[in-house]
């Protein structure tokens, strides 16, 4: 009877250990999937921001240097700046701050970027700042 009792305890211990390891493994897997999804969302938003920043820069250059009121339309610029600001909400606080600063710079200079070099330079400098923050974010993702 003693051997039977020892075997039963061994089976119970094995079952409890197996259940414990399964729960630990499942918990790690869920955590890793959440981290991967979070990084994927940030990566997608960051790449889209880089595209939108390039398009905004194209709008500014077309409006200022080419004097093309169609390609360099401030309305298109407002849409790009708004989208960049919205996408930044998915990223880090530093990117959000840079995007917010881009929006403020755009609000101050959108009326003059087609005529004044200083306004163009201010907006492009802020685009470059956001771009640098996004690149740093992408570099730091694990």
Q: How confident is the model at residue 128 (pLDDT cuts 50, 70, 90)?
A: very high
Interatomic CA distance for residues 37 and 51, integer angstroms = 21
Q: Is the pLDDT of residue 1 over 80?
A: no
- With beta carbons less than 8 A apart as the criterion, state whether 72 and 119 touch: no
| R_g over Cα of the chain | 27
pLDDT surpassing 80 at residue 134 = yes
CB contact at 8 A, 56 and 77: yes
Write out pLDDT tens, residues 31-74: 888 888 989 999 999 999 999 999 999 999 999 999 999 999 99
In angstroms, the CA 28 to CA 31 distance is 5
What whole-number distance in Å separates Cα of residue 105 and Cα of residue 123?
6
Between CA 79 and CA 89, with CA 85 as vertex, the angle to 5 degrees is 140
78-125 confidence digits (pLDDT tens):
999 999 999 999 999 999 999 999 999 999 999 999 999 999 999 999
pLDDT bucket at 8, cuts 50 / 70 / 90: confident
- What is the architecture, at CATH level 2, of domain 41-140? Up-down Bundle (1.20)
Phi-psi region of 67 (alpha: psi -120 to 50; beta: other; left: phi over 0): left
- What are the sequence ranges of the domains in the chain? 41-140
Q: Given this model, what pLDDT does residue 3 score?
A: 86
pLDDT greater at residue 86 or residue 11: 86
Determine the Cα–Cα distance for residues 95 and 4; give it in Å rounded to an integer.
65
Place of tokens 């690149």: 135
């Amino acid at each position: 009877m003693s051997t039977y009792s020892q075997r039963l305890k061994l089976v119970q211990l094995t079952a409890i250990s197996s259940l414990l390891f399964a729960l630990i493994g499942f918990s790690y897997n869920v955590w890793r999937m959440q981290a991967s999804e979070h990084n994927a969302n940030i990566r997608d938003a960051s790449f889209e921001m880089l595209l939108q920043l390039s398009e905004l820069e194209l709008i500014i250059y077309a409006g200022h240097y080419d004097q093309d009121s169609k390609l360099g339309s401030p309305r298109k610029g407002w849409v790009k700046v708004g989208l960049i600001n919205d996408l930044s909400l998915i990223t880090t606080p530093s990117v959000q701050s840079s995007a917010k600063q881009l929006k403020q710079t755009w609000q101050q200079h959108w009326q003059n970027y087609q005529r004044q070099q200083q306004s163009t330079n201010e907006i492009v400098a802020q685009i470059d700042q956001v771009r640098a923050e996004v690149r740093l974010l992408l570099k730091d993702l694990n």
